[in-house]
Amino acid sequence: TDVESIELTQPDISKQNPELYAQYLQGLRDFKQSEHKITYVYFDNSEKNPSSRVHHIVDLPDSIDVISLSNPVDLADWELKDIATVRKDKGTKVIFTLDFDAIKLDYQKMVEDIENMKLEEGEERPEIPSFISVLVETVNNSLASVNKYNLDGISVAYKGKAVNHMTEDEKKLHITYENAFIKIAQDWQDRNKNKMIVFEGYPQNLLDKSILENCEFIVLPVTDAKDASRLSYNINIAAVEGVPQDKFIIATETTSLDPADLKTGYWADGTRALQNSAEWILAPRSGIDIKGIAIKNVNIDYYNPARAYMYTRNAINTINPSPKK
């Protein structure tokens, strides 16, 4: 009548036939070195006490090329083991995103908290640091994680703005912010030639587009696109002079776990944005080469009764169909 735990043996090809599995992994690594459409995913690794396999990157589909972690600092031992496994065995690159807008949002929240702080009698309000100082410190601290955890590189997320209608003061501040953020990334890349750098944002808004030459991919954040024509429009306005047109990756997203949310991850006609974007990538077009697909909120796609990450797998099979015999 006592409760007793038992060990269940799950079928595992790596143990049942190690030689065959080793051949599979070699074929997988060879595939990722070959010419193919890239699959790039954003993985939420904020959970440090995993309760299910959804928290493990080793359970992502094997054919994923790049995993961008949401939290690159304070990685747990089990995370480091997962990272080492997917990099060594599967040839997957693991990076993280430096997001200018996210840093600015955190700064504005800090300023608001300080300004609204209730002070005791005689207590002085903390001095508010400049945004530039916070930006530089945050970026440098994050960049230290690349070597600390032996990651493969970074993605620089910067949407920017068109400066045509800015006042001179607005333009001066905008230029200061962009230079501080982009120049740090460029300097880091110059000192780390063996590491990957990706640009994520609207490249047409960059005042200095020279960073794009060293970027492996340019990820366009077009998750708000609700049909194929909007995707084409976003590509066309991004393909300006100075922007390499053979590095574009289209960002899309998975659907929400909330059954009442019929907008997130859907196109206007009610079909899934992920599959539609994958099919759109294969459409012939002149002058512009779409390198692949970037999938936001990939963790959510784990929860599928038919198969974990089913829609992600379907998209991968769409952009990289298996050769028919």
Residues in the chain, total: 325
pLDDT digits (tens, 9 = 90+) for 296-319: 999 999 999 899 999 999 999 999
Strands 290-296 and 248-253: parallel
pLDDT of residue 19: 87
Per-residue pLDDT of the chain (325 residues; tens, 9 = 90+): 676 665 555 556 666 678 898 999 999 999 999 999 999 999 999 999 988 899 999 999 999 999 999 999 899 999 999 999 999 999 999 999 999 999 999 999 999 999 999 888 888 889 999 999 999 999 999 999 999 999 999 999 999 998 888 899 999 999 999 999 999 999 999 999 999 999 999 999 999 999 999 999 999 999 999 999 999 999 999 999 999 999 999 999 999 999 999 999 999 999 999 999 999 999 887 778 899 999 999 999 999 989 999 999 999 999 998 765 4
pLDDT of residue 5: 60
pLDDT of residue 276: 97
Give per-residue burial for 114-138: e unless 16+ CB within 10 Å, then b.
eeeeeeeeeeeeeeeeebeebbeee
Asked if 253 and 261 touch (Cβ cutoff 8 Å), the reply is no
pLDDT of residue 186: 94
Q: Rg of the Cα trace of the chain?
A: 22
* Cα–Cα distance, 216 to 155 (Å, whole number): 10
pLDDT of residue 101: 96
pLDDT of residue 87: 96
